[in-house]
Amino acid sequence: MTRFWDIPVHDSTRVRDVRVAAEAAGGHARLGPHRTAVAALVATEPAANLFKHAGGGSIVIDVVERPGEGEPVPAVQHASLDHGPGIHDVTAATRDGHTTSDASLGAGLGTCRRTSSAFDLFGSHRGTVAVARTDPDPGISRVTAPPGPRAGGINVPLAHAEHSGDAWRLARSGPRPTLMPADGLGHGVGAAHASGTAADELRRSAHLPPADILRHMHPALRPTRGAAVAVAQLDTDRAELAFAGVGTIGAVPHTGTSWEPLILHPGIVGARFPATVPVRRLPWGPDNVLVLHSDGLPARWTPPDGPGLPTHDPAVVAATIPLDAGSSARPPRDDTAVAVLARARAGPVS
């Protein structure tokens, strides 16, 4: 069962907690001692920035799968979230040796970019999101990340819990990537077991069309509490997205000029499976973006927006959504997972 660390960072004492969490996550991901040390470094640098420059924020650490063909490779993902003033010149800030009012800011983020497997950040007037992933192979994932659409996500457990009742997963079958969020009923370990079972079953069924994937999951989830599950499958040859879902999951594609929510069928995979599962098909161009989210996100959330945001790492795009939607006046009511299917990146993969 995937372990999570959601660590509020408002003073220097929590940076040590972030390092300890990153080292533990490195153990879960079997990174080995060297890459675990890298994971700890790329987690602590943004953590230090949170209290030095942003007035505090949080670091969310979990183990995700490196995108690519073949057997999934685990990677430690750190997301740094803050509502601070933002880093105005990101390119300069991540260049090694860049100096700001505090010289350690630029040098630190440059180190993160160079040593991690993937590093990206986005700052706006609403705050800053930085995401780093560290996998076991130094330098490998930058060249093996497949071309075409990319997916990523963030999963924030309710009330800093060690487990999330939500899960998201990307599975590939030939030219068809399938992105799935699942929200186990309730929260805590029982919910995590239900959504984690759905994620495991996705790998066994990613060759099937979306409604059949959900039907395949239903018996596997019977021994669990059950989950709301949505499946979005992209056929890159036909430039078409096929979508099906059962239960309460948010699914909002941006096609053309607007964000238009998709309707899911009521029910619970593993408990009350509907007699029919409608499948929605959408033409899918390289500039389209799909946001999938659990109901931990407030009903009225702001679609990702900002100069160039859709071209960023999909995990960064995903993390901006709970950051923008969240405030102390509106604390989340449940675990919050957001997964994003985004356009292909022009230029080198980072």
CB environment 83-106: b (16+ within 10 A), e (fewer)? bbebbeebeebbeeebeeeeeebb
Q: Is 139 buried (19+), middle (13-18) or exposed (0-12) by CB count in 10 A? A: exposed
CA distances from 298 to 188, 247, 336 (A): 19, 16, 9
Helix (H) or strand (E) run with residue 197 in it: helix 189-205
Q: Is 118 or 182 the residue whose CB approaches Mn ion more closely? A: 182
Tell the smallest beta-carbon distance from residue 320 to Mn ion (Å). 21
Give dist(CA 341, CA 115) in Å, integer: 25
By the criterion CB under 5 A, which residues form the site for Mn ion? 165, 183, 334-335
Q: Is 81 or 268 the residue whose CB approaches Mn ion more closely? A: 268
Q: Is 38 or 158 the residue whose CB approaches Mn ion more closely? A: 158
Tell the smallest beta-carbon distance from residue 336 to Mn ion (Å). 9
Q: Is 57 or 247 the residue whose CB approaches Mn ion more closely? A: 247
Residues found in the chain: 350
Q: Is 183 or 313 the residue whose CB approaches Mn ion more closely? A: 183
- Angle (CA) 197-198-199 rounded to 5° is 90
Residues paired with 88 in a beta bridge: none
Phi, psi of 120 (to 5 degrees): -155, 150
Q: Is 76 or 194 the residue whose CB approaches Mn ion more closely? A: 194
Residues paired with 339 in a beta bridge: 153, 292
Structure tokens at 347: 């230029």
Give dist(CA 186, CA 192) in Å, integer: 9
Residue of 255, 254, 276, 266 lying closest to 229 (CA atoms): 266
Cβ-Cβ contacts under 8 Å for 186 (sequence gap 6 or more): 165, 225
CA distances from 134 to 65, 115, 241, 278 (A): 10, 8, 30, 38
Q: From the CB of residue 223, how many other CB atoms can be counted at a distance below 10 Å? A: 11
Tell the smallest beta-carbon distance from residue 348 to Mn ion (Å). 37
Tell the smallest beta-carbon distance from residue 205 to Mn ion (Å). 22
Q: What is the DSSP letter of 261?
A: P
Tell the smallest beta-carbon distance from residue 229 to Mn ion (Å). 12
Q: Is 62 or 334 the residue whose CB approaches Mn ion more closely? A: 334
Structure tokens at 99: 């100096």
Q: Is 113 or 293 the residue whose CB approaches Mn ion more closely? A: 293
User: Tokens 């999570």, residue?
Assistant: 4
Q: Is 62 or 335 the residue whose CB approaches Mn ion more closely? A: 335
Tell the smallest beta-carbon distance from residue 225 to Mn ion (Å). 10
